[in-house]
Amino acid sequence: MQSKALRIVLCGLALLTTMLSPIANAANLRLAVAANFKPVIDELAKEFEQQHDSKVLVSSASSGTLYNQISNGAPFDLFLSADAERPARLEQDDLIVPGSREPYAYGRLVLWSTSDSPLSLKTLEEYKGRLAIANPALAPYGLAAQQTLEKMHLWQGYQGRLIQGANIQQTWQFVVSGNVSLGLVAKSQVMDQPESHLLEIPEDYYAPIRQELVLLKRSKQPLAKIFRDFLLSDTSQAYIANHGYRPAK
């Protein structure tokens, strides 16, 4: 009796999946996007959908997670990484369309505080509390934060006081929730903050946060290349520049 009911439920589920999957596979473009770029890509994708009468599905996670998913056969057409390292590795793995690796934006690091006292590089030197950064081993913004602190000879002094987010989103969340009062985050995350709470880190303090995109080999979606050109177009690049990134061109 019970097993019969179970079988009916399972059949129903199987039917549902087969019914739904063709819709999901229609003229859709599947993007794998580093979490920091999600808000920007959401807006650009809307624009693209209107221009090309198609649907853009955005999956966002950390670049490491997306790299793992792609290596294991995840069905994406285009990968927008937060770094250049993962795309390069995918190229070595022979998983990308040859020659498709290209930067689409450069990230910018800012010092961000929720308190009203004015910020300068001196703040970093004199600050005694905990500092939120992204994990340098996982996130390019974390690596940039480490390079900045090393350049200022502060890295040693901050050991044990660094609160590391798994990604730059979490780092932002640590500061915005009030648990840490100072953090090194992405400029794109704090565009709406009062300027007195922000200090842009000089760009020669860290290696460029070069965010690269790649077309994935397993994709048969012709829209992928069109989306890439759209992203690198002057209009899109201007939009990207207005949202806390340095444009790629």
Q: How far is the CB of 46 from other proteins (least distance, A)?
A: 28
- Cβ nearer to other proteins, comparing 55 with 130: 130
Nearer to other proteins, 147 or 173 (CB): 173
Residue-by-residue DSSP string for 50-103: HHHT-EEEEEEE-HHHHHHHHHTT---SEEE-SSSHHHHHHHHTT-B-TT--EE
Query: Closest approach of Cβ 208 to other proteins, in Å?
Result: 20
Residues that bind other proteins (CB under 8 A): 62, 64-65, 67-68, 89, 130, 132, 135, 137-138, 160, 162-166, 170, 173-174, 177-180
Q: How far is the CB of 230 from other proteins (least distance, A)?
A: 30
Measured between alpha carbons, how far is 9 from 7 in angstroms, rounded to an integer? 5
- Strand arrangement of the beta sheet that strand 102-107 belongs to: 55-61, 28-34, 78-80, 209-215, 102-107, 246-247
Q: Are 142 and 174 in contact (CB under 8 A)?
A: no
Give the residue with the Cβ less far from other proteins, 166 or 241: 166
Q: 10 Å Cβ neighbour count for 62? A: 23
Closest CB 16 distance from other proteins, rounded Å: 24
Name the residue nearer to other proteins (CB basis): 24 or 137.
Answer: 137
Q: Least distance in Å: CB of 179 to other proteins?
A: 4
Please answer whether residues 226 and 131 qualify as being in contact, where contact means their C-beta atoms are separated by less than 8 angstroms.
no
* Cβ proximity to other proteins, 2 vs 177, nearer residue: 177
